[in-house]
Chain A
């Protein structure tokens, strides 16, 4: 709870910085503030509690995921320095929006009441709409923002409708009450309908097939840093929230519901991977790769014993690799109109370090050993085989093989093509973020127990 309050306080502080004309200090101050908040979050890890009539429930699950979100936000804020170089006058807006977005994400994983959940998801979504169209002179960014807003508000509407139906059936917004009642009495038919609507809305937010159509366009059009935020933080938040919703509201998942998840998961993996093979724009490619990863992460909903740890591990591995990859993309494409693969030609020669980092992060996403991505998939497959979903695991393995195809397309472009432009400047912050993110990723690979056992 203190974490959430501190984050909001920090957001307000960011706005105040502008009033007192301290724009230069805003990024360092925010990072220090976020580090302090991370400490606060860790201190709350072992003291679960409920606040304000169960509005907010702080648990191990919520603090662990909040910690991940805060770390990701630190990276994203650090990258802002270089990214908004030419928009210094608005820097406090950009940073403040990101901090408020973080507040929304923390509310989303620590809700105890569906009203709080909806509040969180709206704070997150509105911040994202603004960030998507934050490059206001670019028509693509405007298009992305509008598209995301139209589709996103539609999904929010569906979620809200679902919540209303659940309230109609149960007479309460409190998730523990709902879950108790859902077990005891005869349920009115609109309770499952409400759950389904809620589920559909969340699937939209994590961009799972068949609710994924917005993702490639929005990812491509948004400014690169916003895309980084969407594909790492926003996706991780959405899947964690969905996991919490599913596990907390209906403890035993029916066979039909399982079948639906299996089909959506298979479809997301396959469609995402096959579409990614054909992309030339790196952001678009990562959007489709994100769709396929959403398919993998959805698998955790199938067997909820010990799946929380696996999900935390998978999301951390995926998000850290994503941060590393996007910091390289931001560096490479800062002066380019688009993010086509041609821009990466010869990066291995002009900038071996960043090329190596991008390679490592792509290898992690492809699930090659020693990187955390491999262990994430391994633990996931292990859980799934234990629960008896052999066909799903085989589909997932075949998809892992397909995914190598497009990840390596980018690696090939970096190492075999001749460079077509001079790359100058060594932005220290981008280097630092990329290196730290990939080192954390490898460290997670070497010591998986550290994260995996957190939620055991």
Chain B
């Protein structure tokens, strides 16, 4: 068995979901996403046993393009993140009624397909195709099933689409240029290239444009908050939980090893951009009145720190970044799910209209609190492991970076707890807050279990990703 089976399951699943009709769609989608997760775990075992689960096939002769999927620790970790979150996201939407549900769930599975492809592809062009392909389903999910005024939503979504497409087209030019030099799009051939430092700088910048928009780093973040707010809960979870990680993953997999000289030379600038995102995101989050927007800006702050970690070019930085990517993926999906649970009951996302929920639903309150604590990186949560490793790597570069990056924990605690206070505490709300249903509680408990289990015992993931990250570091340091 090799990794292409995951792509097949998800792709077939998308069709089957569409054909299953509106009533069954959600269950069929859940079935296929769970079976792909099952396959991924089997594949993980095979990988750990030392079997080769990568694929490489010639696809187009002229120009030379292959269907190449590479499974190493890094891509398997991202794969597991995607495939674990997809069923949770699908399951979390079970209590929502969607018009034309078959298309909705089919698009979710199709998006998972494209994202898995992005994490696996080791041929530049194949990677680019999956990267772009993931944009189409999220565009329609946000456009058709989103909330708020239709005209505003249209503007936000089309801005997002054109923005990301513009960025990635420059990445495409970079790939075509690299192809001219290497005669192949394969990752290993691109790693072998000896590019001059000017060439590397241009390639680096072309990649940077694509990734900075996707991650997003300031000043390329302007699409983010409005799209998060307008997209349906599922779309926001897919975007923030998995799709952002495509950008961060690509930095580690493609940008740094292909153009290491530029990364080294301008390291301070890129780390500063990440750190600036941390501070900016935190301060703006403090002033938000809309729950989803607050979470969007907090996400901006967190990914800023992750990006800063990757640009340190140290093994700790990369490892911390990957760990934090996974942790943040789970936390942010949980938090957006919380906002959706409240919305189902109160029909609002304005925090001022909430409050006093804790006394009505203590179970919900404690789960929410645990998620908030995980999000601010309390020790014993997974986020602590990631964030601490990233901050440590930053301190190796320059203590000030660690200091400024560390504000994410302080400011994060401030705005998250303030938010919690506003949303949950206070006098008992006059509006009745129905306790969480079993399905909602189950999804939240799953997320919390992952966060706390790996928070106390991160070794399996660290062991999985470290060898491949060490390879990448060797690639980065091949020329000095």
A415 CB–B CB distance under 8 Å: yes
B136 touches A368 (CB 8 A): yes
B280 CB–A CB distance under 8 Å: no
B143 touches A415 (CB 8 A): yes
Bound CA–CA A98/B177 (angstroms): 44
From A374, A401, A416, contact of B162 by CB (8 A) = A401
B132 touches A453 (CB 8 A): no
Contacts of B125 in A (CB 8 A): 378
| Closest chain B residue to A367, Cβ basis | B169
A397 touches B169 (CB 8 A): yes
For window 77-135 of chain B, which residues contact chain A by CB distance below 8 Å? 100, 103, 125, 128-129, 132-133, 135
A393 CB–B CB distance under 8 Å: yes
| Closest chain B residue to A418, Cβ basis | B150
A412 touches B166 (CB 8 A): no
Bound CA–CA A64/B103 (angstroms): 39
A370 touches B133 (CB 8 A): yes
Contacts of A88 in B (CB 8 A): none
Contacts of B179 in A (CB 8 A): 382
Range of interface residues on chain B?
20 to 34
0 or 1 for each of B348-392: is its CB under 8 Å from A? (1 = yes): 000000000000000000000000000000000000000000000
A258 CB–B CB distance under 8 Å: no
* Nearest CB of B to A393, in Å: 7
* Nearest CB of B to A364, in Å: 12
* Nearest CB of B to A390, in Å: 9
A393 touches B173 (CB 8 A): yes
A13 CB–B CB distance under 8 Å: no
B63 touches A382 (CB 8 A): yes
| Closest chain A residue to B129, Cβ basis | A369
* Nearest CB of A to B178, in Å: 10
B62 touches A369 (CB 8 A): no
Contacts of B63 in A (CB 8 A): 379, 382
| Closest chain A residue to B167, Cβ basis | A401
* Nearest CB of A to B227, in Å: 15
A449 touches B176 (CB 8 A): no
From A369, A379, A449, contact of B61 by CB (8 A) = A449
Contacts of A405 in B (CB 8 A): 158, 162
A154 CB–B CB distance under 8 Å: no
A404 touches B162 (CB 8 A): yes
For window 437-454 of chain A, which residues contact chain B by CB distance below 8 Å? 448-449, 452-453
A146 CB–B CB distance under 8 Å: no
* Nearest CB of A to B3, in Å: 19
A386 touches B180 (CB 8 A): yes
B173 touches A416 (CB 8 A): no
From B62, B100, B153, B158, contact of A453 by CB (8 A) = B62
B39 CB–A CB distance under 8 Å: no
* Nearest CB of B to A238, in Å: 26
B143 touches A412 (CB 8 A): yes
Of the A-B pairs whose beta carbons lie under 8 Å apart in the complex, a sample of 5, sorted by A's number, is A369-B129, A379-B63, A385-B173, A397-B172, A404-B165
Which residues of A come within 8 Å of B, CB atoms?
Answer: 306, 309, 348, 352, 363, 368-370, 374, 378-379, 381-382, 385-386, 393-394, 397, 400-401, 404-405, 408, 412, 415-416, 448-449, 452-453, 456
Q: A374-B129, A405-B162 are in contact. List 4 more A-B contacts (CB 8 A).
A: A386-B180, A404-B165, A415-B144, A416-B144
Nearest 5 A-B pairs (CB), nearest first? A369-B129, A369-B132, A401-B166, A397-B169, A449-B60
